[in-house]
Structure 1
Amino acid sequence: MSLRNFALLCFCVVLAACSKVTQENYSKLKTGMTKAEVEALLGDPTDCAGAMGLSSCTWGDKKQFISVQYAGDKVMMFSGEGLN
């Protein structure tokens, strides 16, 4: 394995270890938080969808995720799965 490939592999491992989708961050979520506050905590969402003033954003993947539902700009409810 070349040094370049090894460095790339190490970078990917470190990046994966820095995930903000954790039980600790999930515990910091509160109803009424703004989208900006949630994104400051969790980073940019993996996916968002919505209509008519309601939206839902997800951070993570199918095995480990945090999902936040908004009414306007405020957290209405949230859920998570696979958090450690």
Structure 2
Amino acid sequence: MKTLTRLLCLAALCAAATACSKVTVENYDKIRVGMTYDEVKQLLGAPNRCSDVMTVKSCTWGDEKRHVQVSFVADQVVLFSSENLR
């Protein structure tokens, strides 16, 4: 019985974490070209990963199935896209 209770608690925590995600259509719609990295980070939270190639910093929020990707040059948004946001 303790195992079942623990599993249910774990499932509830996972569901709550997903529900609180800032990677939403509403927040994606607020991203604008020219925003700074800090402004996007404030909107979406900390990115899951970033990479720097030449002068472009590309960051991804979310996972492989559902995410927002933003590219920055000189700390400003130049390009952004999303996949499977609901």
> How many residues of Structure 1 are paired with residues of Structure 2 in the alignment?
84
Structure 1 residues without counterparts, runs of 5 or longer: none
Shift of 1:58: 0.3
Partners of 2:9 and 2:23 lie apart in 1 by 24
**Distance in 2 between residues matched to 1:12 and 1:50, nearest whole Å:** 31
Q: TM-score w.r.t. structure 2 length?
A: 0.88
Q: Which residue in the other structure is 1:40 paired with?
A: 42
Show the counterpart of 2:16. Answer: 14
Identity in percent: 46
TM superposition outliers: structure 1 runs of 4+ over 3 Å: none
Any unmatched runs of 5+ in structure 2?
A: none
Which digits, 9 at most, give the CA deviation of each residue in 1:13-60, with x for residues without a partner?
100111111111110000000111000000000110013331100001
- Once superposed, what is the RMSD of the aligned Cα atoms? 1.3
Decide which of 58, 70, 84 is 1:82's aligned counterpart: 84
